[in-house]
Amino acid sequence: MIYDPLDIALMLAKIALVFFVILTLAAYLVFAERKVLAWIQDRKGPNRVGPFGLLQPLADLIKLLTKEDFRPIGADKWLFYLAPAMAAIPAIMIFAVIPFGAPLRLFGHTVQLQVADLHVGLLLFVALSSLAVYGVALGGWASNSKYALLGSIRGLAQLLSYELSMGLSLVPVVMLARSFRLSDIVAAQAGCWFIVYQPLAFMIFLISIAAECKRIPFDLPEAEGELVAGFHTEYSGMRFGLFFVGEYLNIIALGGLAATFFLGGWHGPLLPPVVCFSVKVLAFAFLFIWIRGTLPRLRYDQLMHFGWKILTPLALLNILVTAWWLVLRG
Amino acid sequence: MKIVSDMTALLTGMWITWQHIFRRPVTIQYPEEKRTPYPRYRARIVLTRDPDGGERCVACQLCSAACPVDCISMQSAEAADGRRYAAWFRINFSRCIFCGLCAEACPTLAIQMTPDFEICKRDIMELLYEKEDLLIDGCGKSHDYNFYRHAGIGVTQPRGAGPKEKPPVDVRGLLP
């Protein structure tokens, strides 16, 4: 297979663009979260650095970079150093399969606005989101601290409870689109978004991704009221920052996937496709922030109960019903 | 139906937080905006004088005994005319919690509190206020109270010359 240099250049430009946009977006999502939470609590939020506090992410970055990089005595050195990257890198890699706009014509080439259009894009996402929990588990385990260990145990239990229902809630989507390829799934929603056919699967997926990115009400691995800061108790400086960036990248990635699977991806009325997609992703991010400002944290056993006894059977039932419907429709 | 009531509860909470997003923040941007404290706000402590210009403090140590953080200390002394005064009087504002117990304990209304709460200093030793820093020229909150006019026994005026004070009874006299 021979590659055109222009193709390679376009691909690299795409990767650079995605990198730049998501990292900036993650930084500003932290800022947006602090602002929106402040408004919910009748406060003003960060407004000191720059106009309306817009340079706050930069100030946070400088602060995190200049802090001491601390490692507790008895911590497993390599795992402790690698865990934050293990949390952040899968979150970045998920973006490789998300189609964020309609194909463009550039210099006589058709450019897919998607880094890699894999046959098994959906499976890659499920695999990567399972990998992301290794950062949490190993980070907590390597810290040599009881709070961190408790946090990572909870992280693992949470993953086991929610990965299953998340995967099962995506099966009807695959059945409807008849493909694991994300661009096919988006193309299948050109007429009608899958949320119309699959409201239950959408709700299950939404709850599962809230658990997946460790957001309130499922922030048990962190649980600052009980476990200091959970799995990242012992982390400081930019390693702590990487955990944070990973968390917010996860929000963007999972919001993007929710939009892709259920809300028609980049399809949308009036606005250009890329804008449509961004609006959907940001709406999901806002929803997560809003939920964080409203709901309390679930108890450990409630979470397991909810995952195993309610979400998973519901998702299975939903698959059965969808399958029957597809068969009867022929 | 439990699930319906649970969902209603969740949505009610979401609606309430949604409303609060658009509510005006209650934050006061402190260094730029300041709220005016009430006149009886309890902050920086001062030592007041009586209407005649004399020091009210008689160095009775009640304020330092009442102080829960032990930030007041003094040394009492007596002037030639019999008036007691504080030779030195020191308040450590780095310990003071502005509780107002000293002002409550003071029998001569000498120690009083002002609404001035901005007394941050770079050097902690500058928060150690001596008598000359504490003493003000006015009477503070009570303009016409002079302790020695009421209770000074033969110090600033002869016995029985104070307001509402009866002349001393001659215990050896025969008249009722």
Q: Tokens standing for A176?
A: 């409807």
* CA–CA gap between residue A209 and residue A285 (Å, rounded): 11
Residues from chain A that touch B29, judged by Cβ atoms under 8 A, are 44
Across A236-254, average pLDDT: 86
CA A241 to chain centre: 16
Q: Which of B13, B23, B25 sits opposite A295 (nearest CB)?
A: B13
Strand partners, A113: A101
CB pair distance less than 8 Å for B17 and A290:
yes
Rounded to a whole number, what is the distance in Å from the CA of A156 to chain B's nearest CA? 27
Q: B76 to each of A75, B61, B80, B100, how far by Cα in Å? A: 60, 8, 14, 22
Look at residue B65 in the predicted model and tell me its pLDDT.
Answer: 92
Element spanning B45, H or E = strand B45-47
DSSP summary character for residue A317: H
* CA–CA gap between residue A212 and residue A229 (Å, rounded): 17
Letter for the amino acid at A316? L
Question: In this model, does residue A234 exceed pLDDT 70?
Answer: yes
CB pair distance less than 8 Å for B20 and A42:
yes
Question: Is residue B106 exposed (0-12), middle (13-18) or buried (19+ Cβ within 10 Å)?
Answer: buried
Average pLDDT, chain A: 85
Look at residue A265 in the predicted model and tell me its pLDDT.
Answer: 76
Instruction: Give the global pTM.
Output: 0.78
Question: Is residue A265 exposed (0-12), middle (13-18) or buried (19+ Cβ within 10 Å)?
Answer: buried
* Torsion on CA atoms A103, A105, A109, A115, rounded to nearest 10: -30
Look at residue B3 in the predicted model and tell me its pLDDT.
Answer: 82
Interface probe with A: pick from B12, B19, B27, most Cβ of A within 10 Å: B27
Q: A174 to each of A148, A199, A262, A319, how far by Cα in Å? A: 37, 15, 11, 10
Residues from chain B that touch A36, judged by Cβ atoms under 8 A, are 21
CB pair distance less than 8 Å for B25 and A42:
yes
* CA–CA gap between residue A225 and residue A220 (Å, rounded): 10
DSSP per-residue letters across B79-120: -TTS-EEEEEEEEETTT-----HHHHH-TTS-EEE-S-----
Look at residue B152 in the predicted model and tell me its pLDDT.
Answer: 61
Q: Which of A38, A44, A294 sits opposite B13 (nearest CB)?
A: A294
* CA–CA gap between residue B70 and residue A74 (Å, rounded): 44
Residues from chain B that touch A34, judged by Cβ atoms under 8 A, are none
| B141 contacts B99 by C-beta, under 8 angstroms | no
Give the chain A residue nearest B31 (alpha carbons): A48
pLDDT in tens, B7-53: 898 899 999 999 998 988 888 888 888 888 888 888 889 999 888 88
Look at residue B176 in the predicted model and tell me its pLDDT.
Answer: 67
* CA–CA gap between residue B154 and residue B82 (Å, rounded): 9
| A124 contacts A118 by C-beta, under 8 angstroms | yes
* CA–CA gap between residue A163 and residue A284 (Å, rounded): 19
Rounded to a whole number, what is the distance in Å from the CA of A105 to chain B's nearest CA? 42
Rounded to a whole number, what is the distance in Å from the CA of B26 to chain A's nearest CA? 6
Give the chain A residue nearest B29 (alpha carbons): A44
- Distant-in-sequence, close-in-space partners of A215: CB < 8 Å, separation ≥ 6: A251, A288, A291, A292
Give the chain B residue nearest A288 (alpha carbons): B14
Q: Where are the domains of chain B?
A: 37-151
Q: Which of A36, A43, A290 sits opposite B27 (nearest CB)?
A: A43
Q: Tokens standing for B156?
A: 């600033």
CB pair distance less than 8 Å for A40 and B10:
no
- Provide the CB-side half-sphere exposure for B102 (13 A, CA): 30
Q: CB neighbours (10 Å) of residue A40?
A: 21
Going by pLDDT thresholds of 50, 70 and 90, the confidence category of residue A320 is: very high
Across A120-128, average pLDDT: 87
pLDDT in tens, A24-51: 888 889 899 999 999 999 888 888 888 8
Residues from chain A that touch B16, judged by Cβ atoms under 8 A, are 294
Q: Tokens standing for A178?
A: 């008849």
Q: At what angle do helices A5-40 and A56-66 cross, to 10 degrees?
A: 100
Chain A residues in contact with chain B using a Cβ-Cβ cutoff of 8 Å: 36, 38-44, 290-291, 293-295
The mean-pLDDT minimum among A136-145, A275-284, B143-152 falls in B143-152
| A200 contacts A165 by C-beta, under 8 angstroms | no
Interface probe with B: pick from A41, A47, A297, A310, most Cβ of B within 10 Å: A41
* CA–CA gap between residue B172 and residue A115 (Å, rounded): 114
- Ramachandran angles phi, psi of B113, nearest 5°: -115, 145
| A141 contacts A82 by C-beta, under 8 angstroms | no
Residues from chain B that touch A38, judged by Cβ atoms under 8 A, are 25
CB pair distance less than 8 Å for B29 and A44:
yes
Residues from chain A that touch B32, judged by Cβ atoms under 8 A, are none
pLDDT along chain B (176 residues), means of 10: 85 91 88 86 89 86 92 90 87 90 90 88 90 87 82 70 77 78
User: E-assigned strands of chain A?
Assistant: 101-106, 109-113
Residue of B57, B79, B64 lying closest to B134 (CA atoms): B57
Q: What is the third-level CATH fold of B37-151?
A: Alpha-Beta Plaits (3.30.70)
Q: Which of A40, A42, A293 sits opposite B26 (nearest CB)?
A: A42
* CA–CA gap between residue A62 and residue A238 (Å, rounded): 9
Give the chain A residue nearest B16 (alpha carbons): A294
CB pair distance less than 8 Å for A41 and B20:
yes
Interface probe with A: pick from B14, B16, B20, B21, most Cβ of A within 10 Å: B21
* CA–CA gap between residue B24 and residue A14 (Å, rounded): 42
Q: Which of B14, B25, B26 sits opposite A294 (nearest CB)?
A: B14
* Torsion on CA atoms B39, B45, B51, B57, rounded to nearest 10: 150
Q: Where are the domains of chain A?
A: 5-329
| A285 contacts A255 by C-beta, under 8 angstroms | yes
* Torsion on CA atoms A115, A121, A122, A128, rounded to nearest 10: -70
CB pair distance less than 8 Å for A44 and B27:
yes
Rounded to a whole number, what is the distance in Å from the CA of B33 to chain A's nearest CA? 14
| A69 contacts A325 by C-beta, under 8 angstroms | no
Q: B8 to each of A287, B5, B14, how far by Cα in Å? A: 17, 5, 10
* CA–CA gap between residue A111 and residue A4 (Å, rounded): 13
CB pair distance less than 8 Å for B21 and A295:
no
Q: Hey, is B135 helix, strand or coil?
A: strand
